[in-house]
Amino acid sequence: MARTIQSLERAAAMLRLLAGGERRLGLSDISSSLGLAKGTAHGILRTLQQEGFVEQDAASGRYQLGAELLRLGNSYLDVHELRARALVWTDDLARSSGESVYLGVLHQQGVLIVHHVFRPDDSRQVLEVGAMQPLHSTALGKVLSAYDPVAHSEVVEADRETFTPRTVTGLEDFEGLLDLTRARGWAADVEETWDGVASVAAPIHDRRRMPVGAVGVTGAVERVCKDGELRPEIIAAVRDCARAVSRDLGAGRF
């Protein structure tokens, strides 16, 4: 019989364990269930986490299956389905905020814009569906990096370019921003990608609570911010929109 690779067998056993019974397990549960030393189990979990097959809950430290596993299967959410579900809510967000709305998903090492609603004034605007935005500096990208472990591993490895004097590129500072994003439930980009432009975004989850995309508004910094702060009503409207789309995708209230 051909030699097998022990660590892969152990990784497979972990995934099976996380897939059955209780959804989230702590390190000690996993190691004792599989008869492994904690250090060994942790090494495998960390690798699986980097690949997006496992994710760790920030608050409890427990592990659960990651989004990448779903992408491997055929149950991933079609981006055009996402756009169809988001249509009415994003229209309404554009009207209530007075700014343009973008819906983005992770694609390769960036944010792919899958839906764009014009700013509701009569100015000439060009549809930006299909455009790419950077992960590390935009509000959409930060939301995806904070919630989607696959996006996170991409952004950590990527060369984080400096676009403006305000772009955060250092890993530690950037991780701090992601922690803040997870704690608040939204991310911002105030002149970190483009001079004079600010945006706010929040995550969209599907019925498995998987982060499937981010939605946000983008506009001139003097309109999106007031007295140097993001306008709270814009943040509230963005989060409401993200919740509404998530609810339409079957995610429970949260």
Partner 1 sequence: MSETPTTSHGTHGHGPFIAAIDQGTTSSRCIVFDKDGRIVSVDQKEHEQIFPKPGWVEHNATEIWTNVQQVVDGAVEKAGITAADVKAIGITNQRETTVLWDKNTGEPVHNAIVWQDTRTDALCKELGRNVGQDRFRRETGLPLASYFAGPKIRWLLDNVEGLRERAERGEILFGTMDSWVIWNLTGGVNGGHHVTDVTNASRTMLMNLHDLAWDEKILTSMDIPAAVLPEIKSSAEVYGTAASGVLTGVPVASALGDQQAALFGQTCFQQGEAKSTYGTGTFMLMNTGHEPVNSYNGLLTTVGYRIGDETPVYALEGSIAVTGSLVQWMRDQMGLINSAAEIETLASTVDDNGGAYFVPAFSGLFAPYWRSDARGVIAGLTRYVTKAHIARAVLEATAWQTREITDAMTKDSGVELTALKVDGGMTSNNLLMQTISDFLDAPVVRPMVAETTCLGAAYAAGLAVGFWSSTDELRANWRRAAEWTPRMDAATRDREYKSWLKAVERTMGWIEDEE
Cα–Cα distance measured from residue 74 to residue 149, given in angstroms and rounded to the nearest whole number: 19
**3-state SS, one letter per residue, for 173-225:** HHHHHHHHHHHHCCEEEECCCCCCEEEEEEEEECCCCCEEEEEEEEEEHHHHE
Supply the minimum distance, in Å, between the C-beta of residue 16 and partner 1.
Answer: 27
Q: Which residues contact 84 (CB under 8 A, 6 or more apart)?
A: none
Whichever of 122 and 173 has its CB closer to partner 1, that residue is 122
Whichever of 73 and 170 has its CB closer to partner 1, that residue is 73
Whichever of 149 and 219 has its CB closer to partner 1, that residue is 219
Whichever of 17 and 131 has its CB closer to partner 1, that residue is 131
Cα–Cα distance measured from residue 58 to residue 47, given in angstroms and rounded to the nearest whole number: 17
Measured in degrees and rounded to the nearest 5, phi and psi for residue 189 equal -140, 100
Supply the minimum distance, in Å, between the C-beta of residue 84 and partner 1.
Answer: 4
Supply the minimum distance, in Å, between the C-beta of residue 55 and partner 1.
Answer: 26
Site residues, partner 1 (CB under 8 A): 78-81, 83-84, 87-89, 91-92, 94-96, 116-118, 120, 122, 125, 127, 129, 233, 236-237, 240, 243-244, 248
Supply the minimum distance, in Å, between the C-beta of residue 80 and partner 1.
Answer: 4
